[in-house]
Amino acid sequence: MEQSIYRSHILICGGTGCVSSGCKEVRSSLEDELARHDLEDEIKVLETGCHGFCEKGPLIIVYPESVFYCELKPENMEKLVEEHILKGKIVEEFLYQEPVTNESVRSYKDIDFYKKQERNALANCGHIDPEEIEEYIATGGYQAIGKALTEMTPQEVIDEVKDSGLRGRGGGGFPAGLKWQFASEAEGDKKYVICNADEGDPGAFMDRSLLEGDPHRIIEGMVIAAYAIGADEGYVYVRAEYPLAIKRLRIAIEEAEEYGLLGDNLFGTDFNFDLHIKEGAGAFVCGEETALMASIEGKRGMPRPRPPFPAQKGLWGKPSNINNVETYANVPDVIQDGAETYKQVGTEGSTGTKVFALTGKINNTGLAEVPMGITMREIIYDIGGGINDGKEFKAVQIGGPSGGCLPEDKLDLTIDYDSLLEVGAMMGSGGLVVMDEDTCMVDVSRFFLDFTQSESCGKCTPCRVGTKQMLDILERITTGEGQEGDIELLEELAENIKSTSLCGLGQTAPNPVLSTLRYFRDEYEAHIYEQNCPAGACEELLGAYVIDGEACVGCTACTDACPVDAISGEAKEEHQIDEDACIACGACVEKCPVDAITQ
């Protein structure tokens, strides 16, 4: 193969995260340096998709040693090329440091963040050039579709997926094989497969990374589904906010067409399949399957009652199968390795792996693919490296606006679809937002209600009006206007909205409130009865700032920071804050070198 000509490969991440931290500039500087040393024919530079470790970007992995360099700048490239590439010496200062031990780690395989992961769906993300179909094929890609088309009947494909126990990764966790069975049995001269890449859950970005890093895997999964249910046309519905994912997918579809992996008579059979991209237009509710289909049809994206389910009457009234990006990403492995092998990972009721987006107040933010059944503690502490800035863990939010917040004593819960429901959360798309002692749980539930309230499509009253009422109450509480009876009223409204809304948006909108009431009721009570925000986050409940005279070193940093000149004091002497003038903006606190200012 062509690859063997090169002495070394340098993989540089070109995902959205790294682009924003400047990987393009790093790449061109790297190429300049290589050219300067006449190394272009010896060293190949490859641009990959997201490695899932965006916070540490721009990232480079140098093969064959698999040395991982992070947080690189263009001006670092001279040294990197001269030391590592020319002299074979690893450049310690660009290595990753473990947040807990402060040790530098050479190989990415030894970094805690990656070590405990099981990257199957994400196997290629960050390791191949997503714009080169050959690279996907070289990793065994498109073999599963060959196997399905030439060795298996559609029913055998469905049975394999059923046996694998694969459940939908888009939120609900419905068994994928069963859904395919329904679509396959539905009568219809025309059928569709749809990929849901609307990824609206704030805090989740695994679908984006999959599309940017390994788009052919999604295409392959969809072709297999199409063969299984008898569809000849498909759509990928991608958020408009993901321009790079759309671009990579477009290139991938063109390549697949050129290679005869999309189009007519695939693998010499009479099976045809065409795939199109539809760009979303900015509406969270379009992630709901019936709304999504209305949107593809060119209508307002409003959900409709089910049944009929999409498998019976979907896009343009035709039987349709809709799955999430990550669900399709699992399909090639199920077919290629077989259900038995697939089931080896995960738990009995939730097989395989799940990709979580770890964000919030945590040391290692990024994408972590782990076996189902792992504990939350392992994800947050072993992979995520614990809470940053030495703060205390308070809660982890899972499942986005439909999910819930779990407290410390639920950290040892093993994560799967069913265990999460039992504790009042849900898998959702797999966003994990970690919150520390400075996060106010009432504010968090206000935040989610604000989100669902503004995204409600307005079709049904409980969702449209009920969420507004809940939001009003939460706004009152966070501004110190809470009243006795508010908590009970919230609970009553929540139950009503849950049981009478038409679609999942309304049905799950109260979950963040219910789960915080369940685990953090005392915080609500403190806001209502004591006008106090224990986390110190709700600004209206906080008074003026004061300077601790003993600690103050008189550096005058705060005086300059204060926008309303509320701070007085001579240099090198104690400073004071005029309580009446202070607007409690907190600007001085951030500037104080000795943490002498508190509220």
Partner 1 sequence: MACSCGNAEENQEQYLAPLYDVLAGYECKEKDLIPVLQDAQEEYGYLPQDVLQEIAKGLGVPFSQVYGVVTFYSQFHLEPRGENIIRICMGTACHVRGGDKVLDKMKEELGVDDGETTEDLKFTLESVACIGACGLAPVIMVNDNTHGLLTPEKVPEVLDQYRD
Enumerate long-range contacts of 170-174, CB under 8 Å, 24 or more apart. Answer: 170/196, 170/287, 170/323, 170/324, 170/325, 170/326, 170/327, 170/429, 171/324, 171/399, 171/402, 171/426, 171/427, 171/428, 171/429, 171/504, 172/504, 173/350, 173/417, 173/427
Here's the x/- map for ligand FMN, 303-332, by CB under 6 A: it reads as: -------------------xxx--x-----
Residue 156 token pair: 């055998």
424 near ligand FES (CB under 6 A): no
Cβ contacts of 337 within 8 Å, gap of 6 or more: none
Q: For residues 555 and 543, is the Cβ–Cβ distance under 8 A?
A: no
169 near ligand FMN (CB under 6 A): yes
Segments of 293-403 assigned E as strands: 320-324, 353-360, 366-371, 393-398
Residue 172: contacted member of ligand FMN, ligand SF4, ligand FES, none (CB under 5 to 8 Å, by partner type)? ligand FMN
Residue 459: contacted member of ligand SF4, partner 1, ligand FMN, none (CB under 5 to 8 Å, by partner type)? ligand SF4
- Which segment (165-173, 225-233, 479-487, 573-581) binds ligand FMN by CB under 6 A? 165-173
Task: Read off φ and ψ for residue 143, nearest 5 degrees.
Answer: -80, -35
Residue 519 token pair: 């685990």
Residue 215: contacted member of ligand FES, ligand SF4, ligand FMN, none (CB under 5 to 8 Å, by partner type)? none
Residue 534 token pair: 């224990």
Nearest-angstrom CA–CA distance, 113 and 110:
8
Using the minimum distance from each CB to ligand FMN, give the nearer residue, 354 or 394.
354
Q: CA 258 → CA 122, 149, 331, 376, 428, distances in Å?
A: 25, 18, 23, 44, 36
15 near ligand FES (CB under 6 A): yes
Q: For residues 540 and 548, is the Cβ–Cβ distance under 8 A?
A: no
Selected from 10, 13, 246, 502, the binder of ligand FES by CB under 6 A is 13
Neighbours of 209 (CB within 10 A): 28
State the virtual CA torsion across 166, 138, 57, 283 in degrees, nearest 10.
-50
Residue 13: contacted member of ligand SF4, ligand FES, ligand FMN, none (CB under 5 to 8 Å, by partner type)? ligand FES
Residue 59: contacted member of ligand FES, partner 1, ligand FMN, none (CB under 5 to 8 Å, by partner type)? ligand FES
327 near partner 1 (CB under 8 A): no
- Residues between 48 and 77 that touch ligand FES (CB under 6 A): 50-54, 57, 59
100 near partner 1 (CB under 8 A): no
Nearest-angstrom CA–CA distance, 324 and 195:
6
H/E run at residue 215: helix 215-229
Using the minimum distance from each CB to ligand FMN, give the nearer residue, 152 or 311.
311
Q: How far is the CB of 563 from ligand SF4 (least distance, A)?
A: 6
Q: How far is the CB of 471 from ligand SF4 (least distance, A)?
A: 14
274 near partner 1 (CB under 8 A): no
17 near ligand FES (CB under 6 A): yes
Binding site for ligand SF4 (CB under 6 A): 285, 303, 456-460, 463-464, 501-503, 505-506, 545, 561-562, 564, 566-567, 577, 582-588
Nearest-angstrom CA–CA distance, 385 and 394:
15
- Which segment (1-9, 16-24, 89-97, 270-278) binds ligand FES by CB under 6 A? 16-24
Task: Read off φ and ψ for residue 320, nearest 5 degrees.
Answer: -140, 145
Pick from 168, 148, 134, 130: nearest CA to 14: 130
Pick from 28, 30, 68, 33: nearest CA to 52: 68
What is the binding site for ligand FMN (CB under 6 A)?
168-172, 174, 196, 198-200, 285, 287-289, 322-324, 327, 429, 503-505
Q: Which residues bind partner 1 (CB under 8 A)?
A: 16-17, 19-21, 52-55, 57, 199-205, 208, 239-243, 278-284, 295-302, 357, 359-361, 365-367, 397, 400, 431, 433, 435, 439, 444, 447-448, 451, 455, 457
Residues near ligand FES (CB under 6 A): 13, 15-18, 50-54, 57, 59, 202-203
